[in-house]
Amino acid sequence: MKSSAMQDWEALIVRYEPEMDLETYYFGLLDAADELLRSGLVSDTEWRQMARLSANFFIEMIERGQGEDVE
């Protein structure tokens, strides 16, 4: 069962808008996941899931052409 903190974090992914800077958004997702881990609100396993979801989101957006300015 997912913690409420992880559910709230997952909601951040759906808030992405194409005009946002993809790279900044991606690193923001990772920073938020790190902060939740440090604060003890998510487990190591949940943090790994968050990192994986962040990476998958980033890759999917690049494949859709959203991250054309990412170097």
Tell me which amino acid residue 53 is.
L
**Distance in angstroms (rounded) separating the CA atoms of residues 35 and 47:** 10
| Residue 65 vs residue 54, higher pLDDT | 54
Q: What is the pTM of this model?
A: 0.79
For the chain, first and last CA: distance in Å? 37
Domain boundaries, the chain: 23-66
User: Confidence band (pLDDT; 50, 70, 90) for 10?
Assistant: confident
* Residue pLDDT, tens place only, 29-50: 999 999 999 999 999 999 999 9
> Taking 60 as the threshold, does the pLDDT of residue 69 lie above it?
no
